[in-house]
Amino acid sequence: MLSVSKRALRVGIPSRRSTSIVSTLRYKSSWSTAVETAARLVTPSSILKDPISLVSHEMSQLAANIGTLIGSGHPTLNRISAYYFESQGKKIRPLLVLLLSRAISEIPLEQRNRIKIDDLDIPEQPVYEGTKSLGAILKEQNGAISPLRILHGINPNIILDPLTKPHETLPEFDSKRGILPKQRRLAEIVEMIHTASLLHDDVIDNSDSRRNRPSGNIAFNNKMAVLAGDFLLGRASVSISRLRNPEVIELLSTSIANLVEGEFMQLKNTVFQPNEDLIEEDTKKIPQPTGAIDTKVHEYSVQAPQSIQGHEITHEQQVDAAFEYYIHKTYLKTAALLSKSSRSAAILSGANEDVIENCYQFGRNVGLCFQMVDDILDYTQTSEALGKPGNADLKLGLATAPILFAWRENPELGELISRKFKQEGDIEIAMEQVQKFNGLVKTQKMAEDYCHKALENLRNVLPESDSRSALEFLTNAILTRSK
């Protein structure tokens, strides 16, 4: 079994005292190194003979597996659905799921007794006279509950298709390392959901590139990109349901809703908005509710602070509320999928509540750290280096952590933030103020804090192992990546 040396683990780990973004340049290769090291733990040993294929082979296997789940009866839909899977993205989400699954498998079975662990985990329904059990139906129909003619609305020409592909027997390499079939499928589902969100995001943001090639909305068109994203979510939903675990189904389905809610929070930009009834730069009034349906927000939302006993809220309170809004929006858009997939991996392993909760917090903290580094890179990297448009956040009018830190020091920036940097020269002023008040350095420090919390989550509940070491290495490398 391949181990990660202590010396390797020290590479890419920034000091808590680090206060300069420039220092990350010393570790610019640590992201690639971390991914390659982690990939060794989920790649058959025969592949390791070819170092160049360490990452590409594992990721191409993931894409190939996903390809078997997303086929449709329309060639153009097939083409755009597979478009983003063809290029080499970070694939950090499925990689974390697989490594976490392996790390949890090091916990003795007698300590993983929350649920019964088996290869299928199919809840049986009552069997009445003259009917077949659910297990028998699934066996006959290769994993589907409904007949294929019902699922497709037409008699299929083949028995196996994307809607009914069963959980295959794992390769010997994976089974020896404790990755369960459903955990492997979980990794594929997570990447499908993430990719669907990218297709939608690129339409919303009017992006022109993704992963160093034209974005889906440019290569095809907006309508096709939106429909392909919807299609991927539909196929992901089928795969989610076939995990046959109600708690995991609930978590993953909610993560899809979280992505949408986070996107709506981003449209608003900050918690302060003069008129909730206006959209599109306050040029369009939305219809008023009729009262037939309760449209009140739930308690798990961020609201703007109100004046207290006639005293207006202070600038400091405004900035604090804006940061709270930013953190929650970041959780919904980025960290929710990571946190809930990490929790799901632990649930499928039968781990106890403490392990499950720490896995959830690990995913949450890693996700927040990941996005904050993205927010830094948007200010510091070129479009060519990122593989997508640079300075996109300010151009879209988004107030991320760097500008919020600058706003705390310079209250006058609030006016630029409220008008979403739309006036000529606003973007240049914002970038200058971010540099002047060390907004990037402060955001880096906040990302480091979340990184250290994620490491604590791992060490709280997971025994020492190669997989945990790789997770720690990957978590640290997130801070020092350059794209």
Residue 344, token pair as written in the block: 């799901």
**What is residue 267's predicted lDDT score, i.e. its pLDDT?**
81
Contact 181, 167 (CB under 8 A): yes
Contact 376, 393 (CB under 8 A): no
List C-alpha distances in Å: 349 to 62, 107, 167, 343, 432.
21, 10, 16, 10, 49
Contact 156, 143 (CB under 8 A): no
Distance in angstroms (rounded) separating the CA atoms of residues 271 and 302: 7
DSSP H or E run through 411: none
> Measuring CA to CA, which residue among 325, 317, 323 is closest to residue 297?
325
DSSP secondary structure letter of residue 462: P
Low-confidence ranges of the chain (pLDDT < 50): 1-28, 44-59, 118-119, 121-127, 158-160, 166, 169-175
CB proximity list for 459: less than 8 A, separation 6 or greater: 468
Distance in angstroms (rounded) separating the CA atoms of residues 306 and 302: 12
Contact 134, 125 (CB under 8 A): yes
Which residues on neighbouring strands pair with residue 288, listed in sequence order? none
CATH class of 6-120+167-286+301-306+314-478: mainly alpha
**What is residue 145's predicted lDDT score, i.e. its pLDDT?**
64
Distance in angstroms (rounded) separating the CA atoms of residues 421 and 418: 8
**What is residue 339's predicted lDDT score, i.e. its pLDDT?**
97
**What is residue 170's predicted lDDT score, i.e. its pLDDT?**
43
What is the number of other CB atoms lying within 10 angstroms of the CB of residue 428?
11
Residue 403, token pair as written in the block: 């500008």
Q: Indicate the pairing of strand 278-279 with strand 213-214.
A: unpaired
**What is residue 249's predicted lDDT score, i.e. its pLDDT?**
93
